[in-house]
Amino acid sequence: MDKGRALIEPQAPVEPDDYADHRLTEVIELFFFAYRDFTSDPDEILEKYEFGRAHGRVMHFVGRNPGISVAELLNILRITKQSLARVLRELIERGFVRQEEGPRDRRQRLLFLSQAGIELVRKVDVPQRARVRRALEAAGPEARELWPGMLLGIVNPEDRAAVSALVSKPRVVGEDR
Amino acid sequence: MDKGRALIEPQAPVEPDDYADHRLTEVIELFFFAYRDFTSDPDEILEKYEFGRAHGRVMHFVGRNPGISVAELLNILRITKQSLARVLRELIERGFVRQEEGPRDRRQRLLFLSQAGIELVRKVDVPQRARVRRALEAAGPEARELWPGMLLGIVNPEDRAAVSALVSKPRVVGEDR
DNA sequence: AAATTTATGTCAGCCATGTTGACATAAATT
DNA sequence: AATTTATGTCAACATGGCTGACATAAATTT
C-alpha cells in the first residue's frame, strides 16, 4: 500500500538540507525498528526458561565480565539495585548465576555464570549473532569497520570511554567460537 | 580500571575468525548501550508532560503518517490494541492527537496530530536529532550513506520492504527544517 | 577503638507498558 | 440477511522499571 521511495539510493535527490534532515529521521526510525527485531531473538528463547529480557541482560554481562561486582553491573545496566535484586535472586536460586565473596573486599559479591548459565547465554546468542552477522555481511567490508564507531557515536560522550573499554574486551563466555 | 583494547582500530590483529566473532559481540553490546542513551532524550522531555515513551512513539508515527489508521499504527508498533488504546486515549483527551472518521471507510478512525502534538513532537525531536547528527558527522560521509542499509539489515527480512517504504517517506511533521 | 562510609541486601508499594480473553458496535462486504 | 472487519472497552495479570526506608557487615577514617 505504501509505495515510498527507495531507501538506500533516493531516486530524486532533494535539496541538500532537506536530504540531510530526512536522513536523520530515517536513522531514528530505523533504530526503533532494528532494535524491536534485534531483541526479539533473545526474548523467544528466554521465554522457554520463564526468564525475561532483564535476566538475559544480566547473564550476558556477567558472562562477559566474570567476577563483576554488583556495583559495576548496576553501572552497566543503569537500573536500581532493587530492580537488579529481583532478577539476580531468581538467577541465583535457579542456578544460572553464582556469587563469590570478593577476595580483597569481603563486602563484595562477585558474580559468575554457572555452567547452566554459560550454556543458556550461548543458546540465546546464536540467533542474535546470526542476525548481526547477516547484516554485517550484507553491508559489506567497509561497513563492518564503521559499525562500532557509529554506534559508539550515539552513546553519551561521557560514557564512551567506559563503553568502549567494555565492549572491546575479548570474549569470555563461549571460549569456543 | 578496565583497560581493554582500542575500539575502532584494534592494536594487535587477532585471528580472522576470532576477530569477526568478537566484532559481533561488540556490535550487540554497542546496540544495547546506544539504544539506552538514544531513548533517554525523548524520555526526559516527555516526562515534563507526564507522558511516557509509548506516548512519544505514537505521536512520532502519527506525525510522520498523518491520517494513519489504528490498524496501520498497530502494525508499526507491534503492540496490542488494548495497549495502544490506553496511550491513545490519553493523547486524545489531552488534545495532542485528533481522530477523524475515514472518508471512504467510515469505520476507520484516522489519526492526526493537533497543533500541540506537532509542537511536542518537534520539541522531543530536537535533542534526539542532534545526537544522531553528531554521530553521523563523526562517522564521516561514507558512513552516512551506510547507516540506513546497515540498520535495515537488522530488521526481519519479511518486514524490510514495509519498513523501508515507511522510513523513506518525506518528512511531514515539521514542514520547516 | 569508635565513628563513618561503603557494598550489598531487603521490604513494601507504586507506575508504565506490555499481555490475554471476552464482548460490543457500527459499517462494509458477501 | 448474514458475515466480516475496524475499532473500542472491560477486566485481570506480568514484567521490569521506580522510590523510600531500613539492615548488616566490612572497610576506612578519625
Query: Which residues on chain A are in Cβ contact (under 8 Å) with B23?
Result: 136, 144, 147-148
Q: Which pLDDT tens digit goes with each residue over A53-87?
A: 999 999 999 999 999 999 999 999 999 999 999 99
Q: Read off the pLDDT of each residue in A24-42 and give the average, rounded to a whole number.
A: 96
Footprint of strand D on the protein (CB under 7 A): A 50, 52-55, 57, 78-80, 82-83, 86-87, 104-107; B 69-71, 81-82, 85, 88-89, 99, 102, 105, 107-110
**For residues A64 and B32, what is the distance between their CA atoms, to the nearest angstrom?**
14
Contact (Cβ atoms closer than 8 angstroms) between residue A31 and residue A137:
no
Architecture of domain A51-117: Orthogonal Bundle (1.10)
Sequence-distant (≥ 6) Cβ neighbours of residue A133 within 8 angstroms? B20, B24
- Positive or negative, the Cα torsion across A71, A76, A77, A79? positive
- Helix B16-38 vs helix A53-64: angle between axes, to the nearest 10 degrees? 130
The grid cell for A106 is: 569481603
Average pLDDT, chain B: 89
| Residue spans of alpha helices (H) in chain A | 16-38, 40-48, 53-64, 70-77, 81-93, 115-154, 160-167
Question: For residue B90, with 0-12 CB atoms within 10 Å meaning exposed, 13-18 middle and 19 or more buried, which class applies?
Answer: middle
Instruction: For residue B142, give Cα distances in angstroms to A71, A150, B136, B145.
Output: 39, 11, 10, 6
Q: What is the pLDDT of residue B66?
A: 98
- pLDDT band with cut points at 50, 70 and 90 for residue A17: low
* A31/B38 touch (CB, cutoff 8 Å), yes or no: yes
Q: Which pLDDT tens digit goes with each residue over B7-46?
A: 343 444 455 667 778 899 999 999 999 999 999 999 999 9
Other C-beta atoms within 10 Å of B95: how many?
11
Q: Read off the pLDDT of each residue in A40-53 and give the average, rounded to a whole number.
A: 96
Q: What is the pLDDT of residue B177?
A: 33
- Domain borders along chain A are 16-41+120-167, 51-117
- Positive or negative, the Cα torsion across A172, A177, B6, B8? negative
Q: What is the pLDDT of residue A144?
A: 87
Architecture of domain B16-169: Orthogonal Bundle (1.10)
The grid cell for B45 is: 522531555
